[in-house]
Amino acid sequence: MKKESVLARYKGEIILPAEKNVVQYPAANRTPGMVVLTDRRLIFQNSRGKVPVSLRSITAIDKAPKGWCPGEENRAFSVDFTMEGDRYKVVVFLGPLTRDMAVERIRREMVGSCRIYFKYPAIQGGVMDNSDNWTRGGLILRDKDMIILGGEKKVTIPYDSIVDYGRNLFIGDSRGMPTITIINHTGEEDVGLVVIGESHNLSVFEDYLKDITDKITLDLDLDEDLNKLLFVLNTGISDEDEIAKIMDIPVRRVEKLMDRLIQMRLVKLVRIKRDVELTRGSIRYINQKIRDGIV
């Protein structure tokens, strides 16, 4: 068996445990400690001892767990896991930048340790593959891209090519297992990857995708009307007549603007034409503009 490798060490403070089987322990149990990440385990250490946790037994990783870090939301994260039939929560406090790096790294290793089934391409040229032809494999998450390996397949998806992603968007697995769909743009078309795994692993994977794609700056050349339309859609309004009144432009102009947003993959059609939703990319763009003070 390959020797276990230490990947990172994080010094801070730990509440170990913070919960056991939903019963909370006093925050006074917070003590100086260390979190050691290996390629197999997450090890919590303090003056009272050491608790090694298999990456595969982790069920959730949350930033700023509610009720545990008032005033320290940018320093804390929690890890939920199971051990010998019991459910535990540990809360860790690190420096703000270190916290974000630690959570990203732990999520990356956790997702990389889980077993998955995948289908690629699952969507190509707008056509969905509804066969039951799944490949067993694994994920390697890297700084700028992810690699999906299984059978004779090796697929590399750069994070900046991801147009949209979401849970249970894809129907077609006869086992009824939860899925996450990733739409990435390659060449002249959008290609879908669908991953099947345990629900908690997919939740961690989705959180990782959100954090990693939120860091990517979108440099879009949108005119004033397109910007306005995106912000109107972001309020939940999608009726074109209502949008036309708000923007004080003809409905025909709204239709043309909507078509442009769809072509740019900032808006997606849902169920019927003109019933639309923003993609993850457009939400990132809007948040980026708000952060920059350009609204």
- Cα three-residue angle 1-5-137, rounded to 5 degrees: 65
| Angstrom distance (rounded) from CA 13 to CA 32 | 4
Who has greater pLDDT, 75 or 261? 75
Q: Which helix (H) or strand (E) holds 146?
A: strand 145-150
Maximum pairwise Cα distance, the chain: 69
Query: What per-residue confidence (pLDDT) applies to 209?
Result: 86
Q: Which is nearest to 141 in space by CA: 41, 212, 198, 36?
A: 212
Query: What per-residue confidence (pLDDT) applies to 168?
Result: 57
Who has greater pLDDT, 36 or 270? 36
**Which CATH number is associated with domain 224-291?**
1.10.10.10
Per the structure block, which two tokens stand in for 126?
């707008």
Per the structure block, which two tokens stand in for 10?
């994080």
| pLDDT digits 0-9 by tens, 8-52 | 999 999 998 899 998 988 777 899 999 999 999 999 999 888 999
Query: What per-residue confidence (pLDDT) applies to 169?
Result: 55
Who has greater pLDDT, 105 or 270? 105
| Angstrom distance (rounded) from CA 179 to CA 202 | 7
Contacts of 70 (CB under 8 A, 6+ apart): none
* Phi and psi at residue 69, to the nearest 5°: -145, 45
Per the structure block, which two tokens stand in for 19?
């919960």
Per the structure block, which two tokens stand in for 273?
């034409």
Which letter does DSSP use for residue 2 in this model? P
Per the structure block, which two tokens stand in for 141?
């998450």
Q: Which residues pair with 91 in a beta bridge?
A: 15, 78
Q: How many CB atoms lie within 10 A of CB 150?
A: 17
Contact 5, 39 (CB under 8 A): yes
Burial code (b: 16+ CB inside 10 Å, e: under 16) for 7-34 equals: eeebebbbbbbbbeeeeeeeeeebeebb
Of the segments 115-124, 178-187, 197-206, 251-260, which one has the largest average pLDDT value?
A: 251-260
Look at the pTM and tell me if it is higher than 0.85: no
Query: What per-residue confidence (pLDDT) applies to 273?
Result: 46
Q: How many CB atoms lie within 10 A of CB 187?
A: 6
Q: Which is nearest to 82 in space by CA: 60, 99, 58?
A: 58
Who has greater pLDDT, 113 or 50? 50
Tell me what the mean pLDDT of segment 201-225 comes to: 81
Who has greater pLDDT, 190 or 281? 281
Query: What per-residue confidence (pLDDT) applies to 7?
Result: 94
| pLDDT digits 0-9 by tens, 56-82 | 899 889 988 888 888 898 899 999 999
Peptide linkage before 178 cis (omega within 30 of 0): no
Of the segments 56-60, 161-165, 171-175, 289-293, which one has the largest average pLDDT value?
A: 56-60
The DSSP result for 239-257, as a single string, is -HHHHHHHHTS-HHHHHHH
Average pLDDT score over the chain = 82
All CATH 2.30.29.30 domain ranges of the chain, comma separated, are 6-113, 116-214
Q: Which residues pair with 34 in a beta bridge?
A: 11, 45
Query: What per-residue confidence (pLDDT) applies to 90?
Result: 94
Q: Which residues pair with 149 in a beta bridge?
A: 138, 154
Who has greater pLDDT, 12 or 120? 12
All CATH 1.10.10.10 domain ranges of the chain, comma separated, are 224-291
Tell me what the mean pLDDT of segment 89-97 comes to: 92
**CATH architecture of the domain with range 6-113:** Roll (2.30)
One-letter identity of residue 20: K
Query: What per-residue confidence (pLDDT) applies to 187?
Result: 56
Q: What's 116-214's CATH class? A: mainly beta
Tell me what the mean pLDDT of segment 186-210 comes to: 75
